[in-house]
């Protein structure tokens, strides 16, 4: 299931972290299945990588921005 950017932006920071952890774990499992030749849907690797990027973007947008001193 792909996560859209709008959906990721609506999540609470704790939910984003949980989804990130779950998605990374799922990606790890798919990579292992690919190495052993058991993966049939290889497009899921790309989809999960993009989901992680969307979640990371949403997480960084919710983090307080540090003051830049000049």
What are 14-61's pLDDT values in tens digits?
A: 999 999 999 999 999 999 999 999 999 999 999 999 999 999 999 998
Token duo for residue 64: 């307080």
Nearest alpha-carbon partner for 2 in 50, 39, 56, 41:
50
Q: Determine the pLDDT at residue 68.
A: 58
> Of 8 and 19, which is predicted with more confidence?
19
Q: Encode pLDDT of 58-67 as tens digits.
A: 999 888 776 5
Residues 56/17, Cβ–Cβ less than 8 Å:
no
Give the global pTM.
0.84
CATH code for the part of the protein at 5-62: 1.10.287
């Amino acid at each position: 299931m792909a996560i859209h950017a709008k959906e990721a932006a609506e999540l609470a920071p704790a939910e984003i972290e949980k989804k990130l952890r779950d998605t990374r774990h799922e990606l790890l499992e798919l990579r292992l299945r690919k190495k052993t030749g058991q993966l049939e849907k290889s497009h899921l690797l790309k989809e999960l990588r993009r989901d992680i990027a969307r979640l990371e973007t949403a997480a960084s947008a919710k983090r307080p921005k540090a003051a830049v001193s000049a």
